[in-house]
Structure 1
């Protein structure tokens, strides 16, 4: 238990710290791909996937742990990921983003977390469990991309890494506009850690390394999995309701560590403050959290579990989930941002009769 607590909290705290300081927000990244044609955060996610994939498959090759892709609950992944993508727009952050933004003092994120944890628990062991099982019964036999084509996983990883390298090279060659800011208040390491804006690609490398470490640290406690947010979040609520210690595992301390790591980063950088949402934001946050919990529970993972981890394991589940998450995000962005702007623009230019 002691090892579980220490390593889980440490890994989570590092992840929360890095994500808060690097402003690693996949919700904003997916949204910006559609609204402003800015792909940098998406490319950053691809970097984290590539780094993790290489590291984890090295560990598998060394016999540190074993991984089986299993079957593909295709219908659940598609429907769940699409709903999750819609939910993160209303909630103002994905599952991990909501945890780290809660550490910054955003009350709206706490409200989103409440909805997220509630429905995720209902999907895992509550009244929604029969629906979850029924939809997941529609499955395909093969979930491994390499296995589907009879290839060695390293072939798929190598091709993917080359593609990511090309995208990064092309992006870094583009000229960047430097935005003048206030003179730094700190110097040296303190300036770099708590004041200077982190590049998303550098942040992604760190997240990929943390994601690699999660596998052996988690496996050492009997949990053969990497980073995960949805099930541990549901487990916290289930433990409070039932008192069953079986719900407490390495993943629970991981998500708690994200909160503590983000809180420390926000405090040290002067970005922590309690922010109360208005009524509309409160309703959106809670409803978004409900959709996140339902979607992630049905899809078997969130933007981290599917979008970062299962993609790195080169499974169909991960990449299909990622595609439909983005599609859901774009759909919600159209109705939340694009359509209202068009209506306002038309109203402004309307000529009175």
Structure 2
């Protein structure tokens, strides 16, 4: 039943909102603040999903084919997508869940993202999309290319994750005394307590595993995915063709719903109108996201979380270029203006 997409999406939206799981901020902070925690959290989610999904494949529950590797489209599209998420203030999934919190800027970015994704997939830019994706390498699977078992790569990833966890646990903790009485209980944990990004990552990895059999039960042979379902909503709205309505569409609508529930219950929902500059940047960023993710065959979730877990060239190379695109945009949006401002102050002084 495609309604399971709504349930899976609602779980994902709830967890991402409560855990503040923002890959845009995480990739940006790697460059600006030298803070890698959100990137580490992503690696944890990838490792959890990879173990679970390949167990499902080996037991015959689901099927997966890596296909060919459209390397030109992945590199160009991922870099553009990385630039777009900085201007939009959130990646594709982050934009969906932040829209559920009432951020009008995210609504603007989401509209641009959905429309451009539809234009790339069935509109006047479809020939551009198709021609760039036509340049491929025959094997997209890293294990198949190198002729080794996928479990070797999973074991390496798990070892890296364990090393990260040990390193982070052994870091000295800064304890800030609180004057508030210590609270406990399920309600406090769900709606008040700040979730650790690593705990959030484990939950996201588990939801990503769940998405595969639920999606394939409806005939959609994929896991979590944001870009194509987002485009499908626009395509259905324009054409009325019900074939565009599938499990993935319910997934992204569920992300919005789950985030809304979490934000309302934690008293974090409120409508926030951006200023003119932010609104324009959000729309530009949304369009760049839609163009880049459609070209690359996935966003920071479709490629950065799912295709990485499947140990594909597409996933890991896309993740690399998304990060590079994010760093490039962060330099021009955040770092360079601060340098210019500092130079101006020192000159006038």
How many residue pairs get aligned? The number is: 349
- Of 114, 126, 144 in structure 1, the residue corresponding to residue 141 of structure 2 is 144
**Pair 1:319–1:184, CA change in 2 (3 A):** farther
Matched residue SS, 2:2: helix
Aligned pairs (5 A) from 1:25-174: 25-174=22-171
Give the gaps of 5 or more residues in structure 2: none
Deviations 1:44-94 (A, max 9, x none): 000000000000000000001211110000000000000000000000000
Aligned pairs (5 A) from 1:269-348: 269-348=266-345
Deviations 1:81-116 (A, max 9, x none): 000000000000000000000000000000000000
| Inter-partner Cα distance in structure 1 for 2:260 and 2:179 | 24
Displaced runs of 4+ in structure 1, greater than 6 A? none
- Of 194, 197, 201 in structure 2, the residue corresponding to residue 200 of structure 1 is 197
Aligned pairs (5 A) from 1:239-254: 239-254=236-251
| Inter-partner Cα distance in structure 1 for 2:167 and 2:111 | 41
TM-score, normalised by the number of residues in structure 1? 0.97
Deviations 1:8-47 (A, max 9, x none): 1110000000000000000000000000100000000000
Equivalent residue number for residue 226 of structure 2: 229
Judge conservation of contact 1:83–1:292 (CA < 8 Å) in 2.
yes
Equivalent residue number for residue 4 of structure 1: 2
Q: How large is the Cα RMSD of the aligned pairs?
A: 1.1
- Of 153, 172, 176 in structure 1, the residue corresponding to residue 173 of structure 2 is 176
Equivalent residue number for residue 265 of structure 2: 268
| Inter-partner Cα distance in structure 2 for 1:351 and 1:19 | 45
TM-score, normalised by the number of residues in structure 2? 0.98
| Inter-partner Cα distance in structure 1 for 2:11 and 2:245 | 20
Judge conservation of contact 1:59–1:65 (CA < 8 Å) in 2.
yes
Judge conservation of contact 1:85–1:326 (CA < 8 Å) in 2.
yes
Equivalent residue number for residue 20 of structure 2: 23
Deviations 1:178-202 (A, max 9, x none): 3455626964111111000000000
| Inter-partner Cα distance in structure 1 for 2:47 and 2:292 | 25
Judge conservation of contact 1:90–1:284 (CA < 8 Å) in 2.
yes
| Inter-partner Cα distance in structure 2 for 1:64 and 1:213 | 11
Matched residue SS, 1:283: helix
| Inter-partner Cα distance in structure 2 for 1:261 and 1:58 | 28
| Inter-partner Cα distance in structure 2 for 1:187 and 1:206 | 21
| Inter-partner Cα distance in structure 2 for 1:175 and 1:146 | 38
**Pair 1:349–1:147, CA change in 2 (3 A):** same
Deviations 1:194-238 (A, max 9, x none): 000000000000000000000000000000100000000000000
Q: Offset of 1:164 from its aligned partner?
A: 1.5
**Pair 1:139–1:186, CA change in 2 (3 A):** same
| Inter-partner Cα distance in structure 2 for 1:43 and 1:264 | 27
| Inter-partner Cα distance in structure 1 for 2:255 and 2:108 | 17
Matched residue SS, 1:214: helix
- Mapped pair 1:258 → 2:255: yes
**Pair 1:287–1:196, CA change in 2 (3 A):** same
